[in-house]
């Protein structure tokens, strides 16, 4: 790739980031359904046609914003999964971090919750990808626990899916809102239950 091509690509990438950052701000302020491409373009002092140079449809902008939100959660989860320490401690931290970040996004900020609810209803590809990424991290941590003797050896991937399903109400936007009034079980209690199951080899 020539220097000119690299410069042009870097400039385009920077412009795409600006569009996504502007869209995210507007989505938080007025909601993603009310925000138009014209609104985003106006904030950036450009024409809607220029925005369409980088995103062929508003749905692509929606997906990019959702990917940015979800990417932050995955980045935190990845850091926890790769840190030193026992598998049990990392599992606790993974679930609690996921819950805390999603609470900040999906219960405190209603407009973000609305967008993620639509993403779930319409089965945006980013949602399935996120589930796969989280389960891969859980699998890696559980496999390490099985290898070092913390957990009974078994099917680490199945065990990860069981843990993820058991803790779903602490990370699923709709369930977090619908069950917010229920004090128990807490995420700490649920992950404690899962860790006990992993230690005795139940279900996998």
Q: Write out pLDDT tens, residues 31-68.
A: 989 999 999 999 999 999 999 999 999 999 999 998 88
- Mean pLDDT, rounded, for 173-200: 88
Choosing among 3.40.50.410, 1.10.357.10, 3.30.1490.20, 3.40.50.300, the CATH entry for 62-200 is 1.10.357.10
Residue 68's pLDDT is 87
Q: What is the dihedral of CA 180, 185, 187, 193, to 10 degrees?
A: -160
Residue 70's pLDDT is 86
Cβ-Cβ contacts under 8 Å for 11 (sequence gap 6 or more): none
Residue 80's pLDDT is 96
- Mean pLDDT, rounded, for 125-130: 88
- Mean pLDDT, rounded, for 120-125: 83
Residue 1's pLDDT is 59
The span from the CA of 29 to the CA of 168, in Å, is 28
Residue 49 in tokens: 């046609």
Choosing among 2.70.98.60, 1.10.10.10, 1.10.10.60, 1.20.140.10, the CATH entry for 1-56 is 1.10.10.60
**C-alpha torsion sign, points 127, 133, 137, 139:** positive
């Amino acid at each position: 790739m020539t220097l000119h091509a690299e410069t042009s690509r870097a400039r385009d990438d920077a412009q795409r980031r600006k569009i996504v950052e502007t869209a995210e701000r507007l989505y938080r302020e007025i909601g993603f359904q009310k925000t138009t491409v014209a609104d985003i373009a106006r904030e950036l002092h450009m024409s809607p046609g220029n925005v369409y140079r980088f995103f062929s449809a508003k749905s692509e902008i929606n997906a990019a914003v959702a990917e940015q939100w979800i990417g932050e959660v995955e980045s935190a989860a990845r850091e926890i999964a790769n840190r030193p320490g026992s598998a049990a401690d990392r599992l606790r931290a993974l679930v609690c971090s996921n819950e805390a970040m999603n609470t900040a996004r999906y219960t405190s900020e209603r407009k973000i919750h609305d967008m993620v609810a639509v993403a779930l209803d319409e089965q945006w590809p980013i949602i399935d990808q996120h589930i796969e990424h989280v389960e891969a991290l859980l699998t890696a941590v559980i496999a390490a626990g099985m290898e070092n003797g913390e957990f009974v050896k078994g099917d680490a991937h199945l065990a990860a899916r069981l843990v993820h399903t058991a803790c779903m109400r602490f990370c699923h936007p709709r369930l977090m809102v619908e069950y917010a009034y229920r004090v128990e079980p807490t995420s700490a209690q649920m992950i404690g239950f899962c860790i006990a199951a992993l230690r005795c080899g139940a279900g996998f």
